[in-house]
Amino acid sequence: MQKAIIDRSNRLAISEENIMTTQNNDAIIVDQALKQFGKPVPNGWRGRLRARRKGKNAVKSQVTAVDHVSFSVQEGEIFGVLGPNGSGKSTLIRLLATLLLPDGGSIQILGHDVVKEPMQVQQLINRVSVEASFFKKLSPMENLVYGARLYGISGSQTRKQVVEILLRLGLEQRDIYNPMDEMSRGMQQKVAIARALLSRPRVLLLDEPTTGLDPRSKREVQAVVRELQQEDGATIILTTHDMAEADTLCGRVAIMDKGKVVALDTPEKLKALAPRVNGHAPTLEDVFLELTGRKLTSDEVHQDA
Minimum distance from residue 187 beta carbon to another protein (Å): 17
Write out the DSSP string of the chain. ---EEEETTTTEEEEGGGS----TTEEEEEEEEEEEESPPPPPHHHHHHHHHHH-GGGPPPPEEEEEEEEEEEETT-EEEEE--TTSSHHHHHHHHTTSS--SEEEEEETTEETTT-HHHHHHHEEEE-SS----TTS-HHHHHHHHHHHTT--HHHHHHHHHHHHHHTT--TGGGGS-GGGS-HHHHHHHHHHHHHHT--SEEEEESTTTT--HHHHHHHHHHHHHIIIII--EEEEEES-HHHHHHH-SEEEEEETTEEEEEE-HHHHHTTS--BTTBPP-HHHHHHHHHSS-TTS--SPPP-
Minimum distance from residue 25 beta carbon to another protein (Å): 23
Write phi, then psi, for 148 (nearest 5 degrees). Answer: -65, -40
In the complex with another protein, which residue's Cβ is closer, 44 or 152? 152
In the complex with another protein, which residue's Cβ is closer, 72 or 126? 126
In the complex with another protein, which residue's Cβ is closer, 54 or 136? 136
Minimum distance from residue 110 beta carbon to another protein (Å): 13
Distances (CA, A) of 13 to 8, 90, 176, 249, 266: 9, 22, 47, 21, 12
In the complex with another protein, which residue's Cβ is closer, 124 or 289? 124
In the complex with another protein, which residue's Cβ is closer, 179 or 251? 179
Minimum distance from residue 215 beta carbon to another protein (Å): 25
Minimum distance from residue 194 beta carbon to another protein (Å): 13
Alpha carbons 76 and 171: distance in angstroms, whole number: 28
In the complex with another protein, which residue's Cβ is closer, 15 or 91? 91
Minimum distance from residue 272 beta carbon to another protein (Å): 36
Minimum distance from residue 137 beta carbon to another protein (Å): 4
Q: How many residues does the chain have?
A: 305
Minimum distance from residue 242 beta carbon to another protein (Å): 22
In the complex with another protein, which residue's Cβ is closer, 164 or 181? 181
In the complex with another protein, which residue's Cβ is closer, 94 or 269? 94
In the complex with another protein, which residue's Cβ is closer, 91 or 239? 91
Which amino acid is present at 249?
L
List contacts with another protein (CB under 8 A). Answer: 37, 91, 94, 97-101, 103, 119, 122-123, 125, 127, 129, 131, 133-138, 142, 145-147, 149-155, 179, 305
Minimum distance from residue 47 beta carbon to another protein (Å): 21
Alpha carbons 134 and 175: distance in angstroms, whole number: 15
